Amino acid sequence: MPHPSARQSSRSALTRRIGPGLTNRLATDEGFSPEAALGSPGADTSPVPNQPLLHLEQLWIQVAGTLCNLSCTHCFVSAGPNEGRHAMLSREDVAARVAEAVAMGVREIYLTGGEPFLNPSIEGIVEDTLELAPVTLLTNGTLFTPHRTRWLAATTRSSRYSLELRVSLDGTDAASHDAFRGAGSWRRTLDGLRALEAAGLLPIVTLTRPAHVDASELAARAHAALAAEGVPAARLKLLPMFTLGRETRRPGHAPPPPSLAALPAEAFDPNRLQCGTCRAVTSRGVFVCPLLVDEPGGRMGDTLAESARAFPLAHGACSTCWATGMTCAND
Amino acid sequence: MTERVASTRLALFGGVYANLPALEAVLADIASRGAEPGWCLGDLGGFGPDPEECVNLLRARAVPTVQGNYDHSIGHRLADCACGYTDPDDQRFAQLSYDFTDARVSEASRAWLRALPAEVRFEFAGRRVLLCHGSPRRQNEFLWESAASEPFLEWLCREHDADLLVCSHTGLHWHRALSSGRHVVNAGATGRPAHDGRPGAWYAELTVREGALEVSFRHVTYDTERLAARMDAQGLPPEFSETVRTGWWTTCFGSLPVRERIAAADARLAAAPQSR
Ligand code: SF4
């Protein structure tokens, strides 16, 4: 079935308090083009917008550090089998961070890496965290053993909070996906998705959308490909490609977008970006968002309380966020 | 000065969704419980066939009503309902309903919808009550039971000076008694069933007994077959009348969290094992 209005996941209608005269259709349906959204780039000497932390809604915890069993060519945190820049977190580390966030009224917790299932304490971490808040687990879907699938199914059903699973794809067939993720990845991830389906679990499938690919066309292709692979009920979330981490070293990557310095002050809306409501924690401290954990300026302090201040949106990635209206969160 | 509500029983309902027989049945039930006139939490249009009649009935009965995102959009003649759906299929169905409602609402009703308050505050049994449609900060925010932590709900109540927060918008009813003694209630919807295989309407009833607050949800039935046939005859999508007939959602649940999604899937499987 065609998806005439598929688009990058847009927070437009969700993040704005509706006021008289505000049109409900915002410009995020267009393809990703920071230049078009920002006007002419270049005025990099002007100050960049400051993003206040409105309230901590989403806490990202890099439970596996940068350890991953894959080493995708575009990984924005450059994770891989030998990547130890950010260390794995213990069950106690995670509980302490969750407690800090709970004190601030956090709404939901995202557990990420690297690959969270490489953390030997992952089950305990998920169970502890689910006692306090909804949890989303972001995985490459290649490490679902039968035991783990049973555990996921039981935990999902017995918890009062949602345990969302997010499985990443980077293409709609083996060739395009494996080009990013390595030979055999597509097959292993689809086996994982089928195992979840058989256990009655309903993961969110995230899909990277390269800048030149039309969102509705990509969504239609993904639905068709997943249905053909026996994963018909997939919920889909499209994410833009960021020029960050390993992607900046991939031959042929897109040039980093210009900074938000060219954005007129009156055009800035503090409700548009996820960093108005999120922070990310790794073994190295608290960062503004899950995207900038390896970037200069991304670190905001040792504690969440220290990070509860405005952040200057100076990174090129901020332009990608602004132009697409994207969030790493589920909606 | 905050108004005090002296009665010991309150009825709250939302998500009328242009479903007149459901609204009539709920208002009749509220009357039979001695909780008249009840409070409406908005979204009078969408989904069903009779938006104008629903507005007229609420006005005739003088039911105090909070503005939903639908009411805001229709009142201001906006291009869509701003329900906040991100799934393309949801958006397509939402637009179909929106255009259907938009073509059937009078200027007088639009003016009334436009003028509805975004929130209502009063005092009930010594508690500061705040009624809103989505959340106190956003008319179209989804507050799902399984996707909002208790610390977050505490924060929301604190920020907005509420001891008892009542919302709607998601179509699923729930109640959380917070450890601080505050309460958050989602009154659910009258116009669309609760994705539980039970055709009919839901609303919330709040009772004070010896100072303690009790929250319960009432399920009210009406002639769903007759309504479904009318919806079919009016050219509304068959997916909508199927929901009325079966009690299961067929559209617009892309943002439903996994806990609620799996509970519905399991219940459905248990009810009709042969249908899967
Ligand atoms: S990369 Fe995106 S989420 Fe992170 S600080 Fe910049 S705008 Fe915010």
Residue B145 within any structural domain of the chain? yes
State the complex-level ipTM: 0.92
Extended beta strands in chain A, E state: 50-51, 58-62, 108-112, 135-139, 163-169, 204-209, 235-240, 278-282, 285-287, 299-301, 311-312
pLDDT for res A25: 27
- Tens of pLDDT, residues A47-69: 899 999 999 999 999 999 999 98
Which domain, by its residues, includes B20?
4-270
Judge: B265–A202 Cβ closer than 8 Å, yes or no. yes
Residue of B72, B258, B262 to mutate, interface with A, max A Cβ within 10 Å? B258
Q: How crowded is the C-beta side of A241, counted as CA atoms within 13 Å?
A: 25
- Tens of pLDDT, residues A6-52: 333 333 333 333 332 222 222 233 333 333 334 333 334 568 999 99
Question: What residues of A are in contact with residue B73 (Cβ under 8 Å)?
Answer: 18, 24
Neighbours of A43 (CB within 10 A): 13
pLDDT for res B254: 77
Residue B111 within any structural domain of the chain? yes
Mean per-residue pLDDT of chain A: 84
Q: Is B255 on the interface with A (CB under 8 A)?
A: yes
How many helices (DSSP H) and strands (DSSP E) are in chain A? 9, 11
Strand A285-287 with A278-282, pairing: antiparallel
Residue B75 within any structural domain of the chain? yes
Say yes or no to pLDDT of A166 above 50. Answer: yes
Q: Are A82 and A301 in contact (CB under 8 A)?
A: no
Model-level pTM?
Answer: 0.90
Cα separation, A123 vs B181, in Å, equals 32
Using CB atoms, pick whichever of B79, B137, B154 lies closest to residue A105: B154
Q: Are A327 and A9 in contact (CB under 8 A)?
A: yes
- Tens of pLDDT, residues A104-152: 999 999 999 999 999 999 999 999 999 999 999 999 999 999 999 999 9
What is the residue whose two structure tokens read 């995102």?
B69
- Shortest distance, CA B34 to any CA of chain A (angstroms): 34
Judge: A7–B88 Cβ closer than 8 Å, yes or no. yes
Of B154, B156, B160, B155, the residue nearest B181 (C-alpha) = B154
Cα separation, B77 vs B48, in Å, equals 19
Task: Give the best-scoring range by mean pLDDT among A3-12, A176-185, A260-269.
Answer: A260-269
Residue of B74, B86, B180 to mutate, interface with A, max A Cβ within 10 Å? B86
Judge: B88–A107 Cβ closer than 8 Å, yes or no. no
B231: its two tokens? 């919806």
Sorting pLDDT into bands at 50, 70 and 90, what band is A183? Answer: confident
Of B12, B8, B6, B7, the residue nearest B204 (C-alpha) = B12
Cα A157 to chain centroid distance, Å, stands at: 24
pLDDT for res A6: 33
**What whole-number percentage of chain A has pLDDT above 70?**
86
Cα separation, B50 vs B17, in Å, equals 8
Sorting pLDDT into bands at 50, 70 and 90, what band is A178? Answer: confident
Helix, strand, coil distribution of chain A in percent, nearest 5: 35, 15, 50
Say yes or no to pLDDT of A240 above 70. Answer: yes
Neighbours of A19 (CB within 10 A): 10
Neighbours of B231 (CB within 10 A): 25
Residue of A9, A14, A209 to mutate, interface with B, max B Cβ within 10 Å? A14
A289: its two tokens? 């968002």
Pocket of ligand 1 (CB under 6 A): A 273-275, 288-289, 291-292, 311, 313, 315, 317-318, 321
pLDDT for res B276: 43
Q: Are B208 and B124 in contact (CB under 8 A)?
A: yes
How far is the centre of ligand 1, averaged over its atoms, from the C-alpha of A151 (Å)? Answer: 34
What is the residue whose two structure tokens read 């000076």?
B161
Question: What residues of B are in contact with residue A156 (Cβ under 8 Å)?
Answer: 258-259, 262
Q: Is B272 on the interface with A (CB under 8 A)?
A: no
Judge: B258–A20 Cβ closer than 8 Å, yes or no. no
pLDDT for res B273: 58
Nearest 5°: phi and psi at B199?
-60, 145
Residue B275 within any structural domain of the chain? no
Residue B234 within any structural domain of the chain? yes
CB < 8 Å from B in window 35-74 of A: 55, 57
Is the CA virtual torsion B151, B157, B160, B161 positive or negative?
A: negative
Q: Are B68 and B41 in contact (CB under 8 A)?
A: yes
**Dihedral, A315, A317, A322, A326 alpha carbons, nearest 10:** -140
Cα B248 to chain centroid distance, Å, stands at: 16
Q: Is B72 on the interface with A (CB under 8 A)?
A: yes
User: Is the bond leading into A258 cis (omega within 30 degrees of zero)?
Assistant: no
A1: its two tokens? 């079935």
How far is the centre of ligand 1, averaged over its atoms, from the C-alpha of A239 (Å)? Answer: 14
Nearest 5°: phi and psi at A246?
-65, -25
Residue B276 within any structural domain of the chain? no
* Domain architecture of chain A: domains with CATH: 49-209+216-324 (3.20.20.70)
Residue A209: strand, helix, or coil: strand
Extended beta strands in chain B, E state: 4-5, 9-13, 39-40, 119-124, 127-132, 164-167, 173-177, 183-187, 201-209, 212-220
Judge: B82–A18 Cβ closer than 8 Å, yes or no. yes
Question: What residues of A are in contact with residue B255 (Cβ under 8 Å)?
Answer: 331
Cα separation, B197 vs A5, in Å, equals 30
Using CB atoms, pick whichever of A4, A55, A163 lies closest to residue B258: A163
- Written as one letter, the residue type at B193 is P
Average pLDDT for consecutive 10-residue bins of chain B (276 residues)?
Answer: 81 98 98 95 96 98 97 94 77 91 97 98 95 96 97 98 97 97 98 97 95 95 98 96 96 88 90 61
Output the domain CATH number for residue B89: 3.60.21.10
**Dihedral, A47, A48, A54, A56 alpha carbons, nearest 10:** -130
Residue A11: its H or E element: none
Question: What residues of B are in contact with residue A9 (Cβ under 8 Å)?
Answer: 86
Q: What CA–CA distances, in Å, run from A171 to A74, A177, A243?
A: 13, 4, 18
3-state SS of B62-120 is CCCECCCHHHHHHHCCCCCCCCCCCCHHHHHHHHHHHHHHHCCCCHHHHHHHHCCCCEE
Q: State the Cα angle at A164 between B242 and B274, rounded to 5°.
A: 40
Query: Which residues, including other chains, have CB under 8 Å from residue B273's CB and lie 6 or more apart?
Result: none
Cα separation, B215 vs B228, in Å, equals 31
Residue B232 within any structural domain of the chain? yes
Cα separation, A200 vs B3, in Å, equals 49
Residue B91 within any structural domain of the chain? yes
CB < 8 Å from A in window 197-236 of B: none
- Tens of pLDDT, residues A60-108: 999 999 999 887 777 788 888 898 899 999 999 999 999 999 999 999 9
pLDDT for res B1: 53
How does DSSP assign A116-178, residue by residue? GGGSTTHHHHHHHHHTTS-EEEEE-S----HHHHHHHHHHHHH-SS-EEEEEEESSSSHHHHH
The ligand 1 atom at the shortest distance from the C-alpha of residue A317 is: 1
- Ligand 1 pocket test: pick from A32, A58, A279, A289 the residue with the most ligand atoms within 8 Å of its Cβ: A289
Provide the number of structural domains found in chain B.
Answer: 1
A32: its two tokens? 């990703």
